Amino acid sequence: MKKRILIIGASGQIGTELTARLRKLYGNHKVVATDIRESDSTIVSEGPFEILDAMDSEAIQDVVIQYEITEIYLMAAMLSATAEKFPMKAWNLNMTSLFNVLQLAKENKIKKVFWPSSIAVFGPTTPPINTPQNTIMEPSTVYGISKQAGERWCEYYFNRYGVDVRSIRYPGLISYTTQPGGGTTDYAVDIYHKALKHKKYISFLSAKTTLPMMYMDDAIKATIGIMEAPKESIKIRNSYNLSAMSFNPEEVSESIKKHIPEFEIDYKLDFRQKIADTWPQSINDDQARKDWGWKHKFSLDEMTQIMLDNLR
């Protein structure tokens, strides 16, 4: 069967870059980008684009049939900080969109699903350093609860219906093309924009709040990597731990100062500090490395260089 990919949430931070990379790999017309809103980026002009609501199962099915879709990357979600403001809306969006896609796979209308989980599945009782693949998971945010429930459902659909769903737990993701929206790790993107514009950043997380992070290129590589891996090598059907680096606001500001010596960081904590305090500082991803050959590439200083060069 010929591969035809549908991306739901293609205008978002990950979706934008994932669409571009998949189109490069498989051809523009093989990758259908969809989002609830139109965007001005090249994803609309360079290949098929449709307005699509991830909550609307019939509309998703129509697009699947129209374009003869074989696999779906579901990238639409409400992130941690926004979800705390709209708990029920976040729960509805994050769960309904997943069920819509799992159901299509169960009915054999598509062959493969990618669904992202997050470090937010972990909670205050999880061992925070080198967090194991299998460990205590008591998330205390709406976003985390939705990701944990989603993981259980993915595994359930695999075990019960044989749905080929694959997932990774993304750390905070940093990129220069599209800004993230509504996450707790968003500071690590914004800080580069403000460093260039104002030579100053006011961080909503404290200096020593260390979180797992990753440069977007690595995240895209992992996403396509797990989807391209042979089915038998995917041993975990809830979600894989994934790791590249860990840093805190002070460390990223030191990294920026190597390029912009007059850069200053200040701290004014808000409600997102409480969310970050419940997440791990570093992640053990041995299983992903062993099962499907995951390898990260970018370090903090390499990423800083790329971010500043491209945002300039």
Residues that bind ligand SER (CB under 6 A): 79-80, 118, 120, 143, 170, 172, 183-185
Q: Which is nearer to ligand SER, 110 or 151 (CB)?
A: 151
- State the pairing for strand pair 31-35/5-8: parallel
Catalytic: 143? yes
Residue nearest to ligand SER (CB): 183
Q: Which is nearer to ligand SER, 85 or 199 (CB)?
A: 85
Which residues make Cβ contacts (< 8 Å) with residue 107, sequence separation at least 6?
none
* Residue of 75, 132, 140 whose CA lies nearest to 101: 75
In angstroms, the Cα distances linking 247 to 129, 166, 240, 285 are: 13, 27, 21, 17
- Tell me the one-letter amino acid at 22: L
Q: Which is nearer to ligand SER, 61 or 133 (CB)?
A: 133
Catalytic residue among 26, 67, 73, 143: 143
Q: Which is nearer to ligand SER, 72 or 77 (CB)?
A: 77
Shortest distance in whole angstroms from residue 50 CB to ligand SER:
26
Shortest distance in whole angstroms from residue 141 CB to ligand SER:
8
Tell me how far the alpha carbon of residue 105 is from its chain's centroid: 21
Shortest distance in whole angstroms from residue 234 CB to ligand SER:
21
Shortest distance in whole angstroms from residue 146 CB to ligand SER:
11
Instruction: Please write down the HEC assignment for all residues of 176-191.
Output: CCCCCCCCCCCHHHHH
Shortest distance in whole angstroms from residue 88 CB to ligand SER:
18
Query: Beta-strand (E) ranges in the chain?
Result: 5-8, 31-35, 49-51, 71-74, 112-114, 117-118, 165-166, 168-170, 172-174, 200-203, 211-215, 240-241, 245-247, 264-267
Q: Are 76 and 13 in contact (CB under 8 A)?
A: no
Catalytic residues: 143
